[in-house]
Structure 1
């Protein structure tokens, strides 16, 4: 099971144990996750097709939404199929390198999603505060560069996770009490000093999460000031309505994330471990499931695009 070298014991594979203590309920637990995953894939792929197909949606706001949809469907696809294999077929083994790859993509795409939400907040700021210059400021080139920089930030900050995990000696076994490989779940299997892993993980959370939330907060503070300065109540309502879907997406993404972070750090002995694992999976699956629904319900142009696509130019 172990391949030894001069500095560490590296397991050939890990065993992902699913939700420890609830093995008898794995099939029942899997059903809501399966249906949520199905909705996430169909919803985000449908959203991407609609944005590509409908020329009226070829605008900066919807390009950022397409980037969010790509990130969402990729993020949940890195973990949920593997989780379903554990629950349905008892396929718990994952090779050491595959585990590190999964760890990298989970954390990189989580950071990417946070970054895209920040870019969407900046998009709403420009749209409301500088409406006449909206399309000249947010050109296709600027959007592409912003998306690439957000992707590159995630890659550069998350890549050390794999090296920090690979250097550890795994002499306490190879069983991970989780449904997927995340950084600290893997590190805790080690018998080595994981202090550096914990400190770097906290630094990344601050550099990505806190930075993005600060940018979002500043953007919406400026938006609020601009909207409240409008004399017409109808104009204020119209301006606020363009932000509703994005605010819902922020809440859906950050609330489960903050719950997961705080319970791991402060509620480890009071909240059962199986609750941690279930919430950790919901944290990755809930935003991809809900974002297409929220934008479909709250965004008039998307609703009209769906009706036009399904029923033709005349709608009903």
Structure 2
């Protein structure tokens, strides 16, 4: 896995690259082995994005470093941070960031916001000012091109429904667009497009990674709430829960569909999981559990044994079925 040189200067604002591309070898004489390219793919999941931090901590401690990073929705936040701060130190700082997050930092909900949406004609529930402020503190004016690792953020064109891969321009704007859950956050205007959450078009951008030339894809899924004893409450919790279910279902489909085109490894998500993607009060618990699960997976040579964890399949739990153990077939049934 080749490490690119660190960018020493910020690039000026430029056009947003909005399409996947394959990158050529650095020199014509490069061998096939040298052209191998590993991608980290971060799927969305609201507060469950904290799970990816525990996964990253262990992967980084094992020296697993990607050549490219792709993120969508909440995964775009983690992907962008790690691409700008790769390695163990970056993973530890991301850990501290997530442990300090509170729901009101991301979702400053109030009855006024509900009135503005339903009585005032506004098309979204909350403004993204809290999230923008959080991102600005950690990324500042940095552009996607200035990340240490090549970074690509997935969003969706609200009018056409097309996937839009942002590869240049402001990191803050790109992540805001990728995380703009319809009805929750406002759309983001970039490069003449109206962009919303990347999950609408491709929340688990395995295909994007392959289109960018990845020969090996390591997926860090957030999973979904499978052991909650009560149904989601309120519009926001419903939206976050529905999106996390969509992510998991789409991920299984993509893993089966693209398994013949690249070596794909999936870090196992947490299961059973009783924490809502709307609940930011238990991020530390999610990080620690994911780190322990990932360490066990790595010791068991999980990276060298491509499989689709059964925890990604649609399911729920009760006292008679405490966890998932059976893997999903790697190839889709005909």
- TM-score, normalized by length of structure 2? 0.28
- Structure number with the bigger relative contact order (C-alpha 8 A, sep ≥ 6) is 1
Higher strand share: 2
- TM-score, normalized by length of structure 1? 0.29
Higher helix share: 1
The structure with the largest alpha-carbon Rg is: 1
